[in-house]
Structure 1
Amino acid sequence: MKLGILFSGQGAQKAGMGLDLYQNIPAYQATVDQASSILGYDLQEVANDDAKIKQTAYAQPAILTMSNAIINALGDALPTPVAGLGLSLGEYSALSASGALDFDQAVAIIKDRGMYMQTVGDANPGKMVAVMGDNQKLVADVLTTLQADGKHVYPANYNTFAQLVIGGVPRDVDVAMTALSEAGIQRMVELPVSGAFHTPLLTDAATQLTERLSGETFRDMQYPVYSNTTGKQFTKEMLFNTLTKQIISPTYFAQAMQNMLDLGVDTFLEVGPSDTLIKFAKKIAPKDVKRYAITDLESFNAVKEMLVAEGENV
Structure 2
Amino acid sequence: MKLGILMSGQGAQKVGMGADLYEQVPAYKETIDEASQVLGYDIMSTIVNDEENVKQTKFTQPAILAMSTGIYRALADIMPTPQATLGLSLGEYSALVAADVLTFDQAMRIIKDRGAYMQQAGDDNPGKMVAVMTEDQDLVIATINKLQAAGKRVYPANYNTFNQLVIGGVGADVDAAIAALTDAGIERLVELPVSGPFHTPLMQSAADQLTTRLADEPFSPMSFDVYSNTTGKKFSDVKTTLLDQIVSPTYFAQALQAMVDDGVDTLIEFGPSDTLYKFARKIVGKDIKRYKVTNFKTYQEVREMLAAE
Q: Under a length normalisation based on structure 1, what TM-score does the superposition of the two structures give?
A: 0.97
> Structure 2: which amino acid aligns with 1:122?
D
Spell out the pairing of 1:101-120 with structure 2 (5 A cutoff). Answer: 101-120=102-121
The structural deviation recorded for 1:184 is: 1.8
Are positions 1:35 and 2:35 aligned together?
A: yes
Q: Report the 3-state secondary structure (helix = DSSP H, G, I; strand = E; otherwise coil) of the residue aligned with 1:76.
A: coil
Partner of 2:230: 229
Q: Helix, strand or coil: the match of 1:146? A: helix
**Cα deviations by residue, 1:114-152 (Å, 9 ceiling, x for unpaired):** 000011101110110000011101100110111011000
Deviation at 1:82, TM superposition (A): 1.3
Q: How does 1:55-134 map to 2 (within 5 A)?
A: 55-134=56-135
Aligned-residue offset at 1:194: 2.3
Residue aligning to 1:209: 210
Shift in Å, 1:90: 0.2
- Give secondary structure in 2 for the equivalent of 1:273: coil
Give, in angstroms, the shift of residue 308 of structure 1.
1.2
SS in 2 for 1:208: helix
Q: How big is each residue's C-alpha offset from its partner over 1:130-188, in whole Å with a ceiling of 9 and x where there is no partner? A: 00011101100110111011000000000000000000000000001111111221111
AA aligned to 1:18 is G
CA contact 2:157–2:167 (8 Å) conserved in 1: yes
- 2:92 maps to amino acid: E
Residue in 1 aligned with 2:271? 272
Following superposition, the deviation at residue 309 of structure 1 comes to 1.1
SS at match of 2:282: helix
Partner SS for 2:101: coil
Shift of 1:286: 2.3
Tell me the alpha carbon deviations over residues 21-70 of structure 1, each in whole angstroms, 9 at most, x when there is no partner.
Answer: 11111111111111111000001222111111111000000000000000
The 5-angstrom pairing of residues 1-314 of structure 1 reads 1-45=1-45, 46-235=47-236, 238-310=237-309
Please, which runs of 5 or more residues in structure 2 have no aligned partner? none
SS at match of 2:131: strand
Q: Distance in 2 between matches of 1:33 and 1:185?
A: 46
Looking at structure 2, the residues matched to 258 and 72 of structure 1 have their Cα atoms a distance apart, in angstroms, of 26
Distance 1:106 1:299 in 2: 26
Residue type of the alignment partner of 1:140: I
CA distance in 2, matches of 1:189, 1:23: 35
Letter in structure 2 aligned against 1:77:
I
What per-residue deviation string (whole Å, max 9, x for no partner) do you get for residues 66-110 of structure 1? 000001111221111111000000000000111000000000000
Letter in 2 for 1:43: I
Return the letter of the residue paired with 1:37. Answer: Q
Q: Which amino acid in structure 1 is aligned with residue 290 of structure 2?
A: R
1:253 and 1:87 map into 2 onto residues whose CA distance is: 6
Q: Secondary structure at the match of 2:76?
A: helix
Q: Distance in 1 between matches of 2:59 and 2:292?
A: 23
In the alignment, the residues of structure 2 paired with residue 55 and residue 287 of structure 1 have an alpha-carbon distance, to the nearest angstrom, of 34
CA distance in 2 between counterparts of 1:24 and 1:191 reads: 32
| Paired amino acid for 2:50 | D
Deviates more, 1:185-194 or 1:89-98: 185-194
Shift of 1:6: 0.2
What's the secondary structure of 2:145's corresponding residue? Answer: helix
Is the Cα–Cα contact under 8 Å of residues 158 and 166 in structure 2 kept in the other structure? yes
Query: Displaced runs of 4+ in structure 1, greater than 2 A?
Result: none
**Shift of residue 214, structure 1, vs aligned partner:** 0.6
Partner amino acid, structure 2, of 1:248: V
Please report how far the alpha carbon of residue 231 of structure 1 lies from its aligned counterpart in structure 2 after TM superposition: 0.5
Give the length in aligned residue pairs. 308
In the alignment, the residues of structure 1 paired with residue 258 and residue 244 of structure 2 have an alpha-carbon distance, to the nearest angstrom, of 21
* Fraction of identical pairs, as percent: 63
Q: What residue ranges of structure 1 are gaps of 5+ in the alignment?
A: none
Q: Report how far residue 259 of structure 1 moved.
A: 0.1
